[in-house]
Structure 1
Amino acid sequence: MQEKERNSIVKTTVITAGGLLMIFAIAGTQILSIFGITLSSFMIAGGILLFVVSIELLTHGGWRFGGTISDESGVVPLAFPLLAGPGAITTVILSFQTSGLMVTLLSIAIVIGITCVIFFLTGSIYRILGRRGSLIITRILAVLVAAIAVQYVVDGLKTM
């Protein structure tokens, strides 16, 4: 990917993930209750979606679904469910309930800021790892993401 296209996707990803997390921090409980969704059901659904993403990364080394719009990959799967997935959304809802709005929003801003810096360093990281190293890392992390996805489903089922 060219640097300009990569930067565009990074911006889309960071803004989307940050926005989603802030919305769910403020109104997550209300949003879920409007639709009659429990936190457990949300975790199960998010876990299944995350598992699909991990299978895609494992088998193809990237995301194949969607159209030809390059910014789409900044939304799915990067912003949601990888960055602002069921675990992160559940965490910000619980953080808001226990620590208040300011602490939760500050935490989101710090994590999104660090994520943005890491994303902008991907060119350097790729030069160090190379194509083969990147594919190996992608597949290893895909297995970890699959395990996290299964854990979300298990945790969701336990709390139902």
Structure 2
Amino acid sequence: MDPPGTVPIFLALTSGRSKRDRRRLAQQAALVSLVVISCFAAFGQQILKYLGITVPALEGSGGLLLLLIALELLTGRADEPSGTADVNVAMVPLGTPLLAGPGAIVAVILFVQRIHSAGDFVAVAAAILLTHLVIWLTMRFSVHIIRVIKDSGVTLVTRIAGLLLAAIAVQMIAESAIAFAKVA
């Protein structure tokens, strides 16, 4: 999870929305991520085992989803009102897979495996809560950047965010492919 790294993507995905909507979306994205991460902390191993999903498969699918979003940001299609008016970007792609993505899910599953005492449990739970508080604060106050960079700056940030998101997606897909190659 990378709170500062989500700022350009958050600004790009919420461009054209009111300040109030951006604040609401920041809160929703952090809450969605918190719920997803908490569910995987509690039941992650069982969910993946029951569904027969490997970590590389989870990583590859998350990468493909992010790549689709990145292409929309790069081509400017994410700015079209018909494409984003009905979509709650706080859930997809912000809440998941950007914030609560395969990397964060796998990390929380691994940390939960290391819990051997009440102190360990409290530390992991506190880390999850504090991380999501920082994520929310980062996105919540990123709206002040809009005053400085104006609409043309948002367009520039959108394209840069699309490029960075595409790189993250390709990296996730590559890591997934490498993990599958090692297994085979």
**Structure 1 residues 91 and 63: CA distance shift in structure 2, 3 A:** farther
> Is 2:150 the partner of 1:150?
no
Q: Percent identity among equivalent residues?
A: 31
Contact 2:66–2:165 under 8 Å retained in 1: yes
What RMSD over aligned residues (CA atoms) do the two structures have, in Å?
2.1
TM-score (structure 2 length as normaliser): 0.77
- In the TM superposition, what whole-angstrom CA distance separates every residue of 1:39-96 from its partner, at most 9, and x where no partner exists? 11111111111111111111126376877446x2211111111111122212212222
CA distance, structure 2, for counterparts of residue 11 and residue 62 of structure 1: 21
Q: Can you give the 5+ residue segments of structure 2 that lack an aligned partner in the other structure?
A: 1-16
> Is 2:63 the partner of 1:47?
yes
**Structure 1 residues 104 and 66: CA distance shift in structure 2, 3 A:** farther
CA distance, structure 2, for counterparts of residue 146 and residue 15 of structure 1: 24
> Is 2:136 the partner of 1:116?
yes
Q: Shift of residue 123 of structure 1?
A: 2.3
Q: What amino acid is aligned across from residue 47 of structure 1 in structure 2? A: G
Question: Which of the residues 76, 92, 95 maps onto 1:79?
Answer: 95
Q: Shift of residue 102 of structure 1?
A: 3.1
Larger Rg: 2
Count of matched residue positions in the alignment of Structure 1 and Structure 2:
159
> Is 2:28 the partner of 1:12?
yes
Q: What amino acid is aligned across from residue 31 of structure 1 in structure 2? A: I
CA distance, structure 2, for counterparts of residue 63 and residue 80 of structure 1: 20
2:46 aligned partner: 30
Q: Can you give the 5+ residue segments of structure 1 that lack an aligned partner in the other structure?
A: none
Contact 2:30–2:132 under 8 Å retained in 1: yes
